[in-house]
Chain A
């Protein structure tokens, strides 16, 4: 059970982040800010074709260019492949026989400056034989042309099949059934910091790497495999990171290329992506075509659901099995369904690689919620009631057999409804005004086998301050501060007494990384346990000095004192002792004060994304509700968002200030951007809006008032009861936005995002239908 109490002094409080001072001064160093002595500039030669065989690569002219220090091609890598899973190892670090998307890596150059490196790229001559490309996933499955990867028939990369309960029987029992299809194109992360990587081999031939990452240990392992170096010789170093949002979790071929160039030149090399490269050659969100068939009873309770989803995976697997599953899993967590069948297909196309993204499955989730609204409409139930009748309850199992312990889904719905005035507004708003609700749920962690746990080390310094070591990485969401808050709380110190060493593979133990929403739940938990162990050591020493049993002691404000001692408040000196003094006395007694602690979530180790998608997925789930109110201009199709309310069950709010920021950012990316403006456009496999000029990101002037509501369910396993924070908002925001627009224009939308052209077409279609009806009625009359 959770050891939650309400008298924490540091966790649970609004606390400005420890990393913000360096950031407001412009002192925080990002990868592109690094200057290493003798550093060279690296650049990547990329494929201009979507699908082509490489016949020859001639680097001689480029090599002869003064200032060029090294060139690497697939010859050096000898076709070595990598992939997140053993069964998805389909991407070479540098392509050797074939390119599969416009932007695929074919060579790397290191030169004395950028101009020389760029010139060298032009001088590398690659002879290609063009192959017929395929860009549409539905076509790719039936295409007779050369497969994108020869060992994947029909270009199907991943097929996830889940079947629980008696779907067919339940459809027969259903009172009302709907089947609808929803589509959404690709979206991108647009992290503020363009991807960059710097690498060098040190004097002991250890590889040092700096790059934005979602988990340093997830980068070091594949690099150690590729270079055949022991893990301790691959040092992924801490560096400020300008956002990840689910991307940047896996190794990027360019990490390897950069390291290879450093090895060849014996000098540090840095590769900085252009904005276009960041969009094209890292990862993108999948385009999806999703069909939901839902059968309900008279009261609107879901009896059976069958969902089939086709995802455009692009050229390589990436996190394919996870990506194919998560949209479904989020919905099976959010809503109960008596029986469900899911078929998710991830299909290779000759487009950039798709991975996990914060709003993964916007079309999937918005489709499901839109359909629920349509069913509710048909049955005369309001959308809130519809959700409450189907919402996940604590103590239940999901369809794929994960036990859901803490769950305050209903509370998020009630609180968001109340704050937004949904009940008063629903059905009563003026024309072209609308209000909508979306609910979602996100995993706190994925099954990751031996990499699922985190371990922390803490040592006290003789000045009474502590150094905390943890493999957790901070991509910008505030993980560093979270660790500091936890350590300070448990050790009885102030945040400024904690020195954090994190996100560094040399000094920290393995950690699952931040992209599965698990940093607090697992990494924070490990720090909490380590700090508790360390505190126990302090108490042992202090108990002798204060002449009380250790379990009578507490630590706060740099002091160890006797708990519940009425005298201690009045006369602190007699019943308390400074932590610094305890540390020094311990040292004088030949004992250093340090400790370790780890946390491994108890998940079903036999659960596997494709082969066995059943069993305990993670230990906790977050739940969120977003309600949005909009006004649509019927002449332009423009949407003005009047107000948005986001409520999430985070388990426990370790830092409300940080949580609010996460909710606001999540709503902006998932809802405002994800549902109104963000999508990629293509021409023959080329992304035609890869830059910030063409891809429309939300601006300060676009944003409505955002109400944030933190709901606490105190998860029995989470540290202080905490779970994931923010992701359920990113996802439910998309649903809330789409529902609000549908409500405003009186048309249930099935193609996302809801851009003005689609909105105008829908309004026009509705008018035409209404006219047809009147003329028919007139004719009858």
Chain B
């Protein structure tokens, strides 16, 4: 098999890369481009830890060929924060204690980010449905669901909504 040169647009930057036709997007991101934020947990489309956006839609990069991604806009977990600022969703994950081991976190964030882009105030049920394709073994999902539902939508009853990452009384 021959490697083919393609250009990928990832987090608004162009990357020239040589890939085999059967290379997955996940392999190329992780092995060729050093974007190791996207994780492989199952490798067969079940766990969602490899989720990235392709033109705004969440896709499983372990099931997506790198070649398929040419001409699309890819966004990975590395593209959520700007130079100095975390996105509101990222900050909400921190504040609500939604991160434990953190291995599922990048995929969770990408699924949640795609949801919030379409529906900025989802109710709990909608969040649970949107995250049903992302497996977390650590958290039991409660704090993840809270973090997503409360992003940009702080709740008075929630002790973690206004911490801004600081210890509080």
User: In the complex the two chains form, is A668's CB within 8 Å of B36's CB?
Assistant: no
Q: Separation in Å of the A558 CB from the closest CB of chain B?
A: 13
Segment 86-121 of B: residues with Cβ below 8 Å from A = 86, 90, 93-95, 97, 99-106, 109
Q: Which residues of A contact B167 (CB under 8 A)?
A: 9-10, 13-15, 494-495
User: In the complex the two chains form, is B90's CB within 8 Å of A664's CB?
Assistant: no
* Smallest Cβ-Cβ distance to B125: which chain A residue: A701
Is B123 among interface residues, defined by CB-CB distance under 8 A?
no
* Smallest Cβ-Cβ distance to A673: which chain B residue: B137
User: In the complex the two chains form, is A25's CB within 8 Å of B138's CB?
Assistant: no
Segment 31-75 of B: residues with Cβ below 8 Å from A = 34-44, 46-47, 49
Q: A16-B97, A26-B37, A658-B97 are in contact. Are A665 and B139 (CB under 8 A)?
A: yes
12 contacts between A and B (CB under 8 A): A14-B159, A24-B99, A27-B37, A240-B103, A243-B103, A243-B138, A665-B100, A666-B140, A691-B44, A700-B131, A700-B134, A700-B144
What is the bound-complex CA distance between A15 and B159, given in angstroms? 11
User: In the complex the two chains form, is A664's CB within 8 Å of B139's CB?
Assistant: yes
Q: A10-B167, A692-B44 are in contact. Are A241 and B101 (CB under 8 A)?
A: yes
Q: Which residues of B contact A703 (CB under 8 A)?
A: 128, 140-142
Is A478 among interface residues, defined by CB-CB distance under 8 A?
yes
Is A33 among interface residues, defined by CB-CB distance under 8 A?
yes
Q: Separation in Å of the A677 CB from the closest CB of chain B?
A: 12
User: In the complex the two chains form, is A194's CB within 8 Å of B41's CB?
Assistant: yes
User: In the complex the two chains form, is B86's CB within 8 Å of A21's CB?
Assistant: yes
What is the bound-complex CA distance between A13 and B169, given in angstroms? 6
User: In the complex the two chains form, is B42's CB within 8 Å of A275's CB?
Assistant: yes
Q: Which of A19, A245, A699 has the most CB of B within 10 A?
A: A699
Is B157 among interface residues, defined by CB-CB distance under 8 A?
no
- Map CB proximity to B onto A51-88 as digits: 1 under 8 Å, 0 otherwise: 00000000000000000000000000000000000000
Q: A21-B94, A26-B76 are in contact. Are A192 and B163 (CB under 8 A)?
A: no
What is the bound-complex CA distance between A194 and B104, given in angstroms? 12
* Smallest Cβ-Cβ distance to A244: which chain B residue: B101
Q: Which residues of A contact B128 (CB under 8 A)?
A: 700-701, 703
Is A775 among interface residues, defined by CB-CB distance under 8 A?
no
Q: Which residues of B contact A194 (CB under 8 A)?
A: 40-41
Is A2 among interface residues, defined by CB-CB distance under 8 A?
no
Q: Which residues of B contact A189 (CB under 8 A)?
A: 137
What is the bound-complex CA distance between A477 and B135, given in angstroms? 17
- Map CB proximity to B onto A224-244 as digits: 1 under 8 Å, 0 otherwise: 000000000000000011110
* Smallest Cβ-Cβ distance to A708: which chain B residue: B142
Q: Separation in Å of the A647 CB from the closest CB of chain B?
A: 15
Residue in A25, A191, A478 whose beta carbon sits within 8 Å of that of B77 in the complex: A25
What is the bound-complex CA distance between A250 and B38, given in angstroms? 28
Q: Which of A16, A191, A669, A699 has the most CB of B within 10 A?
A: A16
Q: Which of B35, B80, B103 has the most CB of A within 10 A?
A: B103
Q: Which residues of B contact A699 (CB under 8 A)?
A: 131-132, 135, 141
Q: Which residues of B contact A240 (CB under 8 A)?
A: 101-103
Q: A192-B103, A701-B129 are in contact. Are A14 and B168 (CB under 8 A)?
A: yes
User: In the complex the two chains form, is B129's CB within 8 Å of A13's CB?
Assistant: no
Is B17 among interface residues, defined by CB-CB distance under 8 A?
no
User: In the complex the two chains form, is A475's CB within 8 Å of B37's CB?
Assistant: no
Is A667 among interface residues, defined by CB-CB distance under 8 A?
yes
Q: Which residues of B contact A242 (CB under 8 A)?
A: 39, 41, 101-103
* Smallest Cβ-Cβ distance to B159: which chain A residue: A14
- Compute the total of residue contacts between A and B using a CB distance below 8 Å: 194
Q: A192-B47, A476-B101 are in contact. Are A16 and B145 (CB under 8 A)?
A: no
Residue in A245, A668, A691 whose beta carbon sits within 8 Å of that of B140 in the complex: A668
Q: Separation in Å of the A613 CB from the closest CB of chain B?
A: 32
Q: Which residues of A contact B41 (CB under 8 A)?
A: 192-194, 242, 275, 692
Segment 204-255 of A: residues with Cβ below 8 Å from B = 240-243, 245
Q: Separation in Å of the B103 CB from the closest CB of chain A?
A: 3
Q: Which residues of A contact B140 (CB under 8 A)?
A: 661, 663-669, 672, 698, 703, 706
User: In the complex the two chains form, is A476's CB within 8 Å of B138's CB?
Assistant: yes
Q: A17-B97, A691-B42, A692-B41 are in contact. Are A193 and B77 (CB under 8 A)?
A: no
What is the bound-complex CA distance between A26 and B132, given in angstroms? 21
Q: Which residues of B contact A275 (CB under 8 A)?
A: 41-44
Segment 148-169 of B: residues with Cβ below 8 Å from A = 159-160, 163, 165, 167-169
Q: Separation in Å of the A681 CB from the closest CB of chain B?
A: 17
Q: Which residues of B contact A192 (CB under 8 A)?
A: 39, 41, 47, 49, 101, 103-104, 135-138
What is the bound-complex CA distance between A714 and B63, given in angstroms? 50
- Map CB proximity to B onto A467-480 as digits: 1 under 8 Å, 0 otherwise: 00000000111100
Q: A14-B163, A691-B42 are in contact. Are A23 and B132 (CB under 8 A)?
A: no
Q: Which residues of A contact B131 (CB under 8 A)?
A: 699-701
What is the bound-complex CA distance between A658 and B168, given in angstroms? 14
Q: Which of A35, A660, A701 has the most CB of B within 10 A?
A: A701
Q: Which residues of A contact B35 (CB under 8 A)?
A: 26
User: In the complex the two chains form, is B94's CB within 8 Å of A26's CB?
Assistant: no
Q: Which residues of B contact A691 (CB under 8 A)?
A: 42, 44, 46
* Smallest Cβ-Cβ distance to B77: which chain A residue: A26
Is B81 among interface residues, defined by CB-CB distance under 8 A?
yes
New A-B contacts (19) at CB < 8 Å, excluding given A16-B163, A20-B93, A698-B140:
A9-B167, A20-B97, A24-B90, A25-B77, A25-B78, A25-B90, A189-B137, A192-B47, A192-B138, A242-B41, A660-B142, A660-B143, A661-B140, A663-B140, A664-B141, A665-B100, A665-B139, A668-B141, A700-B136
- Map CB proximity to B onto A669-692 as digits: 1 under 8 Å, 0 otherwise: 100100000000000000000011
* Smallest Cβ-Cβ distance to A190: which chain B residue: B137
User: In the complex the two chains form, is B40's CB within 8 Å of A243's CB?
Assistant: no
Is A779 among interface residues, defined by CB-CB distance under 8 A?
no
What is the bound-complex CA distance between A660 and B90, given in angstroms? 20
* Smallest Cβ-Cβ distance to A729: which chain B residue: B140
Nearest 9 A/B pairs, CB to CB: A26-B37, A476-B101, A23-B102, A242-B103, A664-B140, A668-B140, A26-B77, A192-B103, A33-B36
Q: Separation in Å of the B51 CB from the closest CB of chain A?
A: 12
What is the bound-complex CA distance between A32 and B103, given in angstroms? 11
User: In the complex the two chains form, is B100's CB within 8 Å of A26's CB?
Assistant: no
User: In the complex the two chains form, is B34's CB within 8 Å of A35's CB?
Assistant: yes
Is A425 among interface residues, defined by CB-CB distance under 8 A?
no
What is the bound-complex CA distance between A706 and B144, given in angstroms? 13
Is A587 among interface residues, defined by CB-CB distance under 8 A?
no
User: In the complex the two chains form, is B142's CB within 8 Å of A30's CB?
Assistant: no
* Smallest Cβ-Cβ distance to A240: which chain B residue: B102
Segment 486-519 of A: residues with Cβ below 8 Å from B = 494-495
Is A545 among interface residues, defined by CB-CB distance under 8 A?
no
User: In the complex the two chains form, is A23's CB within 8 Å of B47's CB?
Assistant: no
Residue in A13, A24, A241, A668 whose beta carbon sits within 8 Å of that of B105 in the complex: A24
User: In the complex the two chains form, is B36's CB within 8 Å of A25's CB?
Assistant: no
Q: Which residues of A contact B132 (CB under 8 A)?
A: 699-701
User: In the complex the two chains form, is A700's CB within 8 Å of B141's CB?
Assistant: yes
Q: Which residues of B contact A25 (CB under 8 A)?
A: 37, 77-78, 80-81, 86, 90
Residue in B40, B42, B90, B100 whose beta carbon sits within 8 Å of that of A478 in the complex: B100
- Map CB proximity to B onto A694-717 as digits: 1 under 8 Å, 0 otherwise: 000111110100100000000000
Q: Which residues of A contact B30 (CB under 8 A)?
A: 33
Q: Separation in Å of the B22 CB from the closest CB of chain A?
A: 10
Is A450 among interface residues, defined by CB-CB distance under 8 A?
no
Q: Which residues of B contact A661 (CB under 8 A)?
A: 97, 100, 138-140, 142-143
Q: Separation in Å of the B158 CB from the closest CB of chain A?
A: 11
Q: Separation in Å of the A736 CB from the closest CB of chain B?
A: 14
Q: Which residues of A contact B77 (CB under 8 A)?
A: 24-26
User: In the complex the two chains form, is A13's CB within 8 Å of B168's CB?
Assistant: yes
What is the bound-complex CA distance between A495 and B128, given in angstroms? 33
Q: Which of A240, A245, A668, A669 has the most CB of B within 10 A?
A: A668
What is the bound-complex CA distance between A23 and B78, given in angstroms? 10
- Map CB proximity to B onto A350-378 as digits: 1 under 8 Å, 0 otherwise: 00000000000000000000000000000
Q: Which of B102, B109, B144 has the most CB of A within 10 A?
A: B102
Q: Which of A9, A17, A664, A666 has the most CB of B within 10 A?
A: A664
